[in-house]
Amino acid sequence: MIKLNMSSIKAGMRLAKSIHSTDGKLLIDAGVPLKDSYIDKLNNLGIEDVFIDFNQATDGELYDVFFYDTKREMIKLVEDSLNNTNICSKFDINQLKKLINRLIENLSENQGTMVYLTDIRNIDAYTFGHSINVCVFALMMGIVLNLNSQDLLDLGIGALLHDIGKIVVSQNVLNKPGRLDNYEFEEIKTHSLHGYAIINSIAGVSEETCFVVRDHHERYNGTGYPNGLKGDNIHLFPRIVAICDVYDALTSNRVYKNKIAPHFAIEYLISMGNHEFDYELVKIFVKHITVYPVGTLVRFNTGEAAEIIENNEGCPTRPVVSVKYDQYGNLLKGNRVIDLTKHLYINIEKII
């Protein structure tokens, strides 16, 4: 199974993984040979990558930590909430708690699985898909930290609603394709306090959840906003969400920037450890995130191309690979397996 960008998809290729819409509807089933009309439909829906059978055989399905039903319900709840100007009176916090608890149970039962969510936002509008990704990443970290069930629930709600204050910010500013001027950036920064005011007015929301919404842009070295908090003066929960938020934002396409490769985002987080982010938390995140899902095809600095066959826990940017093509693009015979932690002169340059 190989993950390919839609620009590389040709008619006749067979899907290794089914594709669903955000409401859970099956779009194209696994095993179906793609037609030009199917490819056009996927492109029109904004899907960027799909999993394709390699040599007409899959390498085994990747475990998806996110049930489609839960995903669909959470997207609907977040979308309705962020589009509702009277959110305090309309928000169903009890339903959200049920969905978060369902997700916690799913993640807790599969702690040995590193989280990969590279295709979770395929069809989602950025805000909704981003909020759910941040929630899943944050809960993964909370489980590793052995937080109790109430803390996990408070963390999950805060992570899911961390950007809720953006309903107050001008859509022209939020969706501006170019660089923000100082006035516009100051308006963007108000979403933290707006969000805090909104979430603090919803009955049944904990103080810890409110901290996440208010402080997820605070930075470990005191350079963040809205209050310039520093180090352990920032509550643990927003310190967790800050890492998850930045990683998902860096690896997502936005109106004003293109996404960067996951390994560059990981390197950025590591470089900012104990500067912008709590380095102990960065290490936990890096250890449990899958930068390259099994089946992804990548190109090396040597010009060769290889398929990811195993991830090295704690070193996500240097997986175990099976070299498939030489530097000239010729398909290789045999099975040359390389552990990139033992071949430091070989670097992954791009996902094909």
Q: How far apart are CA 321 and CA 306, in angstroms?
A: 6
CATH number attached to the domain at 68-287: 1.10.3210.10
In the chain the beta strands, taken as DSSP E runs, fall at: 2-5, 19-20, 26-28, 49-52, 297-300, 305-310, 320-325, 331-339, 348-351
Chain segment 186-234, per-residue pLDDT in tens: 999 999 999 999 999 888 899 999 999 999 999 999 999 999 999 999 9
pLDDT tens digit sequence for 72-92? 677 676 666 555 545 555 567
Mean pLDDT to the nearest integer, 62-76: 56
* pLDDT confidence of residue 90: 57
Report the pLDDT value the prediction gives residue 57, as an integer from 0 to 100: 37
Q: Give the length of the chain.
A: 352
Band of residue 115 on the pLDDT scale cut at 50, 70, 90: low
pLDDT category of residue 104 using cuts at 50, 70 and 90? confident
- Split at pLDDT 50, 70, 90, the class of 287 is confident
Residues pairing with 337 in the sheet: 322
Decide which of 3.90.105.10, 3.30.1490.20, 3.40.50.300, 3.40.1260.10 is the CATH code for 2-52.
3.90.105.10
- The ranges of the chain annotated as CATH 3.90.105.10 are 2-52
Determine which of 94-98, 172-176, 253-257 has the lowest per-residue pLDDT on average: 253-257
Whether this prediction's pTM lies above 0.85 is answered by no
CB of 234 closer than 8 Å to CB of 220? yes
* Residue 57 exposed, middle or buried by CB count within 10 Å (0-12, 13-18, 19+): exposed
**Which stretch of 191-205, 251-265, 310-324 has the lowest confidence by average pLDDT?**
251-265
Return d(Cα 237, Cα 158) in angstroms, integer. 8
Residue ranges of the chain assigned to CATH 1.10.3210.10? 68-287
Instruction: Give the pLDDT score at 24.
Output: 65
* Cβ atoms 346, 96 nearer than 8 A: no
How confident is the model at residue 121, as a pLDDT? 40
